[in-house]
Amino acid sequence: MRMFAYVRYLDDGCTAVVSTCEIKDFNFNKFDQTQIYWVRWKQDFFRAQILMLKENKEDIEEELSKGKRLRVAPLKTWSSPPHTTSSSLKEKAEAKTKNTNQKTASDEGKKQSLLNILHERKAQKRQAPLCPTAQTKKINEQTPSSHLATDEEDAVGADVVPRKLFEESQKQLQFYQEKLKDVTLQLEKTQTKLKEIEKAEITALRKLNIELQNKLLTLSSSPPVCSEIKETSLVEQSGSSSQQSEAIINVVGDEIVLGGTIHLRKEVWEKISSSTRDSLFIKELAVAVWGTKTLGERSLTGKECPTTKSSRQPLTPKKVKIVKATFREWLENKKIPKEELEARASKSGRYITEKIMDINKQKKKAM
């Protein structure tokens, strides 16, 4: 009866589905799962264990596809199969011995070739050491090739001298490596210092450049010095009662003309001149001359602000002089002492600056 078996080869652990015709001396009635059978694979027989028997391959494949784990029975102590003869066993033993001898001979050949290479290297090392000294050169010249030492003595000499030289060279190498590290660290420190100095120089140059630009802008926006001096002298002359040739405040029809250039309506001037405080007079007069918007966008002298580090366009110098002269004449009309007049008149610029600051504060609150 032909059946199919699912077997596991004991030599390599592989499994396969084979016909019972491929199993030597298989008898279904004497089938034992714990017994070792000889199963054909290609041209040779190998030891195997039968894990499953079915009538056809499809049944075995269906059983395996379920994924269930097969129960493997423990095997009995193996013995040679009944058909094995003493001649076949002898042939196997001879083949095994032959393989062992071949392997031993191959190992011996490799060992001998390695020893030959070692002897050649030692001979080359003796003839040309790592760092030959004058003494070794003299010995090599005096010793003829026919009176060389034995292999063992040569091996010892070649081993000792180069090792000492190698240790010395290793110490020198270590010394120079440490020295190189020190030089590298010093170089890094020097480079770091140079970078810091360079950054400081660049920062100082930028600061000086900014200051120079601000000064140039201030000079370009301000009028020439000569004309400013002339205007100052004229205003002071016109403001002083003793040297005054023409009054700063003049009435022309329904208008008040200040300094010959600034025109104000009478009602506006009456409101300004009726002020009881000096600061209120200057602030009201500045708004009437320049307007609130212009005052908020400019400064008195155009200098850089110490808090915001920004500068604005200065007020018209000529108008500033006229406003100051008008304030002086207003004070003179009150018949106050000269010392007090000078002290109060000197605060006109501060009052204008305060008005500019008040306008800017109101803008920030509105925002």
The Cα-based distances of 232 to 41, 66, 196, 283, 346 in angstroms read 126, 115, 50, 21, 14
Q: What is the pLDDT of residues 72-104, one digit of tens each?
A: 888 876 544 444 444 555 655 676 677 677 778
pLDDT at 297 over 90: no
Q: Taking phi first (over 0 means left), then psi (-120 to 50 degrees means alpha), and beta for anything else, what does residue 67 get? A: left
Question: What's the mean pLDDT in 138-160?
Answer: 48
Buried b (16+ CB within 10 A) or exposed e, 268-299: ebeebeeeeebeebbbbbbbbbbeeebbbebb
pLDDT at 158 over 60: no
Encoded tokens for 187 = 């170089």
Stretch (H or E) spanning 49: strand 44-54
Q: What is the mean pLDDT of the chain?
A: 78
**What three-state secondary structure class fits 302?**
coil
For the ranges 145-159, 301-315, 332-346, which has the lowest average pLDDT?
A: 145-159
| Alpha helix segments (H runs only) across the chain | 57-65, 86-127, 134-142, 151-221, 225-239, 266-273, 278-290, 292-297, 317-332, 338-345, 348-366
Rounded Cα gap, residues 144 and 158, in angstroms: 17
User: What are the structural domain ranges in the chain?
Assistant: 4-84, 166-221, 225-366
pLDDT at 309 over 50: yes
More confident site: 221 or 257: 257
Which pLDDT score, from 0 to 100, does residue 133 have?
55
Residue 246, CA atoms < 13 Å, CB-side half-sphere: 9
Rounded Cα gap, residues 331 and 283, in angstroms: 15
pTM, 2 dp: 0.35
pLDDT at 145 over 90: no
**Could you tell me which of 191, 197, 188, 125 has the C-alpha nearest to residue 154?**
125
Contacts of 256 (CB under 8 A, 6+ apart): 249, 250, 263, 264, 265, 266, 268, 269
More confident site: 302 or 138: 302
Task: Give me the architecture of the 225-366 domain, per CATH.
Answer: Orthogonal Bundle (1.10)
Which pLDDT score, from 0 to 100, does residue 68 have?
81
Which pLDDT score, from 0 to 100, does residue 56 have?
87
Q: What is the pLDDT of residues 179-226, one digit of tens each?
A: 999 999 999 999 999 999 999 999 999 888 888 888 888 776 544 433
CA torsion angle 163 164 167 173 (round to 10): -110
Which pLDDT score, from 0 to 100, does residue 173 have?
92
Which pLDDT score, from 0 to 100, does residue 194 have?
93
* Cβ(352)–Cβ(282) below 8 Å: yes
Q: What is the pLDDT of residues 14-57, one digit of tens each?
A: 898 998 888 888 888 888 888 899 999 888 899 998 988 888 88
Rounded Cα gap, residues 109 and 117, in angstroms: 12
Q: What is the pLDDT of residues 89-144, one digit of tens each?
A: 565 567 667 767 777 877 888 888 888 888 888 888 777 655 555 555 555 555 54
For the chain, percent of residues with pLDDT exceeding 90: 18
pLDDT at 157 over 60: no
Question: What is the C-alpha R_g of the chain?
Answer: 59
